[in-house]
Amino acid sequence: MPELRKDPITGRWVIISTDRAKRPMDFVRESVQIKGNANCPFCPGNEGKTPPEILAYGRNGSGKDTPGWSLRVVPNKFPALGIEGGLDRQGEGLFDRMNGVGAHEVIIETPDHKSTLATISDKSVEEVFWAYRDRMLDLKNDRRFRYILLFKNHGEAAGATVEHTHSQLIALPIVPKRVREEVDNSKHYYDEKERCIFCDMIRQEIETGTRMILENDYFIALAPYAPRFPFETWILPRQHSSAFENMPAPYYGSLARILRDFLARLDSVLAFPSYNYVIHTSPMGEEINDHYHWHIEMMPKLTKVAGFEWGTGFYINPTPPEEAARFLRESRP
Amino acid sequence: MPELRKDPITGRWVIISTDRAKRPMDFVRESVQIKGNANCPFCPGNEGKTPPEILAYGRNGSGKDTPGWSLRVVPNKFPALGIEGGLDRQGEGLFDRMNGVGAHEVIIETPDHKSTLATISDKSVEEVFWAYRDRMLDLKNDRRFRYILLFKNHGEAAGATVEHTHSQLIALPIVPKRVREEVDNSKHYYDEKERCIFCDMIRQEIETGTRMILENDYFIALAPYAPRFPFETWILPRQHSSAFENMPAPYYGSLARILRDFLARLDSVLAFPSYNYVIHTSPMGEEINDHYHWHIEMMPKLTKVAGFEWGTGFYINPTPPEEAARFLRESRP
């Protein structure tokens, strides 16, 4: 008998197929293979192919937009939003619009074209998280913005158009709906119980154990109770922490280690899948709070999403999270 | 400058790229091509390859599960939900679960393997809608269910696994989140204004005209103001109508005609794209109301949805609805 499960944070129900559960080898998918590209705009030596850099780490005296960096942040050459101008909020009868003002940046995670987040050093992954933080703090000075979204598309099937490993940042003048829902629902829970719903969930998951994937000093990785996708994984700080960019310094290294360990296991269990991840953190202006717990949501791209899912916000997941967690927990990359 | 637009019904903001808007030929996609299959389980003569039929139209004396039908409804051979048993609602600490009880049926729209909804007759499309209605009314007798979802995946890219044209029905013991949101938000609007938000939108769209695609006696097809996807289209009854299954009889033929006209234009403008559609209607037990207006949401499958969209419920649409509507309006299939 399949199961219907409800995610306590969003209120979303999902169908979990328990009978004919799909195991890692049942998914038809393409492994992400890095082909290499002499004209890659993200490779050292090709700095002129991107807009002028916003931030770089690792330079020892070399000039802006020249090689010598270990990580580099540049504006997206084809931005979804424009950085100039006012919002010009307007009504059109029933409808609301504003100018598409925002920042759209690319974090080039390493100079090495052949690497992925799973194969670069812990130290390099840590640099990526510091870069996320530095860019968030800088963009928060711009009063037009309400939310800064950090995400990564890995592999063509997950929407990556350049294969050189990179993440993206989008600063938005509105709070996206899914984030607003999570924050509001967790606030509602807190108002009722005086406890963070994520902290409660983490406590219960550590006790239950069946959906735990990894834990280290400051973080845990778990398969959520009601995942939308096979092998969906959340990485959360163990202790309450409402904003990614306000984490204590030692957390960045700890996060890098758990993410890298997780990604190596994912590559091993699912044969180098495409994936997306996204950071959910508190909106600007409400960073310090007791109810929202920032986290990473990681979604390997293994299934097609069809009309049923689009039309309803209701997902059919062929892999129970307990099985996904066990495969990842027991893998030895 | 891109635009940020808000959907008045769901409250969802989308980014509409207005500068480098994608026109029909800019999308890389595969046309849906019907290859034919001697062993197709949905073809006449192969009735034994499906579970026993639930409903059939067009029989003139021929027996159950034999050829002679013009439309046939059968249980899905690999159902996402099981039809037997109780819901057995349970808590697990923070979490909620119930048995995956529900119906999962397949509507085989025509005996002809080579046809699509765009190429069969208006009369045959009308039969499809009557079948949707008949199955809904029958399943509403089962008190375990709260929502009946009708949807279609056309083409492999849209998730269709059998190419013989068919729709699907899933009866659920819960109301899906997206539908619940739409119903609640439109209720809220009604409470404030004593008007249906969809009726207001239809009035405004007819007046504005730029997003109108088609209209006939009882229906209109329009590009919504804040579409998630390029060429997303909604088909709505012109007059207030809260439940699909309670439409006056003449509406079924009118709906068939506008859908077929629309699909022929879609095939012409976008070269036979894959698509999904889904019917949004009032949940069971609240069918008669003044606030919710049933409709079809149609989503051609032209773009990949990446981490940004999953993580936020926030969409970047490269085609303004005004342009999509113009292409569809002006096409001569």
B245-304 confidence digits (pLDDT tens): 999 999 999 999 999 999 999 999 999 999 999 999 999 999 999 999 999 999 998 877
**Distance separating alpha carbons of residues B221 and B202, to the nearest angstrom:** 10
Q: Which among B189, B162, B171 is positioned nearest to B10, based on CA atoms? A: B189
| pLDDT in the model for residue A310 | 67
Helices B197-208 and B177-193, interaxial angle, to 10°? Answer: 80
Query: What's the gap in Å between the CA of A159 and the closest CA on chain B?
Result: 5
Q: How far is CA A264 from CA A117, A120, A123, A230, B305, in A?
A: 9, 11, 15, 17, 24
Q: In chain B, whose CA is at the least distance from the CA of A279?
A: B311
Q: What is the pLDDT of residues B195-227, one digit of tens each?
A: 999 999 999 999 999 999 999 999 999 999 999
Q: What is the largest CA-CA distance in chain A?
A: 64
List Cα–Cα distances, A174 to A22, A92, B252, B305, in angstroms: 38, 18, 41, 20
Beta-carbon separation of B314 and A280 below 8 A? no
Confidence of residue B156 (pLDDT cuts 50, 70, 90): confident
Res B313: pLDDT: 74
Nearest neighbour of A158 by CB, restricted to B278, B307, B313: B307
Q: What is the pLDDT of residue B303?
A: 77
A84: number of Cβ within 10 Å: 7
Task: Write down the pLDDT at residue B311.
Answer: 66
Amino acid at A297: E
Q: How far is CA A315 from CA A5, A231, A319, B220, B279, in A?
A: 10, 14, 12, 29, 16
**Residue B34: beta bridge partners?**
none
pLDDT of residue A307: 57
Nearest to B95 among A8, A10, A313 (CB): A8
Contact: A80, B168; criterion CB under 8 Å: no
Do strands B315-317 and B13-16 pair parallel, antiparallel, or not at all (unpaired)? parallel
pLDDT of residue B144: 94
Report chain B residues whose CB lies below 8 A from the CB of A101. Answer: 1
> Can you tell me the distance from the alpha carbon of B12 to that of B18, in angstroms, rounded to the nearest whole number?
18
pLDDT of residue A219: 98
Q: How far does B149 lie from chain A, in Å, by closest CA?
A: 8
Q: Do A269 and A257 touch, CB atoms closer than 8 A?
A: no
Q: Closest Cα of chain A to B60: distance in Å?
A: 34
Q: Considering A104, A166, A291, A293, which one is annotated as catalytic?
A: A166
| Structural domain count of chain A | 1
Best residue in A179, A206, A312, A317 for a mutation probing chain B (most B CBs within 10 Å): A312
Residue A15: closest CA among chain B residues belongs to which residue? B100
| Torsion sign over Cα B48, B51, B53, B58 | negative
Is the pLDDT reported for residue B173 higher than 60?
yes
Distance from CA of B58 to the nearest CA of A (A): 28
Write out chain B residues lying below 8 Å of A170, CB-based.
308
pLDDT tens for each residue of chain A, 333 residues long: 899 999 999 999 999 987 767 788 778 677 999 988 889 999 999 999 999 999 999 988 889 999 999 999 999 998 889 888 898 999 999 999 999 999 999 999 999 999 999 999 999 999 999 999 999 999 999 999 999 999 999 998 888 889 999 999 999 999 998 999 999 999 999 999 999 999 999 999 999 999 999 999 999 999 999 999 999 999 999 999 999 999 999 999 999 999 999 999 999 999 999 999 999 999 999 999 999 999 999 999 887 766 567 667 778 899 999 999 999 999 987
Residues of chain B neighbouring A96 (CB-CB closer than 8 A): 5-6, 8
ipTM (interface pTM): 0.90
Phi and psi torsions of A3, nearest 5°: -120, 145
Tell me what pLDDT residue A161 has.
Answer: 85
Residues of B recognised as catalytic: 166
The answer to whether A80 contacts B204, with C-beta atoms less than 8 Å apart, is no
Q: What is the span of the domain harbouring residue B69?
A: 3-330
Percentages of chain A per state (helix, strand, coil), in multiples of 5: 30, 25, 50
Return the pLDDT at B119.
Answer: 96
Distance CA B233, CA B212 (A): 10
Which chain A positions have a beta carbon within 8 Å of B12's beta carbon?
177
Q: Are B117 and B273 in contact (CB under 8 A)?
A: no
How far apart are alpha carbons B283 and B35 in whole angstroms? 38
- From start to end of B155-216, where are the E strands? 166-172, 212-215
Confidence of residue B26 (pLDDT cuts 50, 70, 90): confident
CATH code of residue A210? 3.30.428.10
Contacts of A2 in chain B (CB under 8 A): 80-82, 99-100
pLDDT of residue A1: 84
Q: Is B19 exposed, middle or buried (0-12, 13-18, 19+ CB in 10 A)?
A: exposed
pLDDT digits (tens, 9 = 90+) for B306-332: 656 766 777 889 999 999 999 999 998
pTM for this prediction: 0.94
Span B140-157, mean pLDDT?
93
Classify A195 as helix, strand or coil. Answer: coil
Measured at the CA of B87, the angle between CA B82 and CA B92, to 5 degrees, comes to 115
